[in-house]
Amino acid sequence: MKIEILGTGCPKCKKLHELSEEAVKELGVSAEIIKVTDINKIIDYGVMVTPALVVDGDVKVAGKIPSKEEITKWIEEK
């Protein structure tokens, strides 16, 4: 599984990264968590507001920080 955190690296992006790592750890799944800071790559996803979370190519949220429970749910759905 590939989880991507889209954003330029501000505190919100870091928080989202942190929550994603916690969710992956708690679920015990094998997932690669990648930070995407390149604006062109972010735009390629159609994301206009950051931070954003992408799970296996599907943008799950943009412009806000989801709860860990929401992130867990998205991971479990895959």
Among all residues, which ones are annotated catalytic? 10, 13
Indicate which single residue of 7, 36, 72, 74 sits in contact with other proteins (rule: CB under 8 A).
Answer: 7
Closer CB to other proteins, 23 or 52, in the complex? 52
Residue type at position 34 = I
CB 68 within 8 A of CB 19: yes
The contact pattern for other proteins, residues 18-37, with x = CB under 8 A and - = no contact, is --------------------
User: Interhelix angle for 68-77 vs 11-27, to 10°?
Assistant: 50
Based on the shown chain and the rule CB under 8 A, indicate whether residue 62 belongs to the binding site for other proteins: yes
CA proximity to 3, closest of 40, 19, 11: 19
* Residue 72 binding other proteins, by CB under 8 A: no
